[in-house]
Amino acid sequence: MGNWQYRITVHTPADVLDLLPEPVEQVPPTIFCDDQGACYFDAGPNPFTRAIEQLLNQVGEQGWELVQVTFRSDQMICFWKREA
């Protein structure tokens, strides 16, 4: 059985905005989370979901596997693992 390394990354709205190819004129639908922790995209795709995909792919390309994502009011916390 292999050994695992773990990593936690914290991403802010500014991190996502930095990955937008151009400024967004109209605010697209957003992510809504209920009190049970379930999160939903209002209607995708939109530039923000694509930017989030790009952000996650950047870490994934380094060999990290996304295990879980937790959303807070102004943060997206990602838990990653990879074999040591």
pLDDT for residue 42 is more than 80: no
Domain ranges of the chain: 4-62
Query: Which pLDDT score is estimated for 48?
Result: 80
Give the containing element (helix H, strand E) for 18: helix 13-18
The predicted pLDDT at position 30 comes to 67
Q: Residue 35 has what pLDDT?
A: 81
> What does the pLDDT read at residue 5?
97
Question: Which region among 7-16, 38-47, 48-57 has the lowest average model confidence (pLDDT)?
Answer: 38-47
Q: What is the DSSP string of 19-67?
A: T-SS--SS----EEE-TTS-EEESS---HHHHHHHHHHHHHHTTTPEEE
* Residue 27, pLDDT score: 58
pLDDT at 28: 57
Instruction: Give the pLDDT confidence score for residue 43 in this predicted structure.
Output: 55
Q: Residue 69, Cα to own-chain centre: how many angstroms?
A: 7
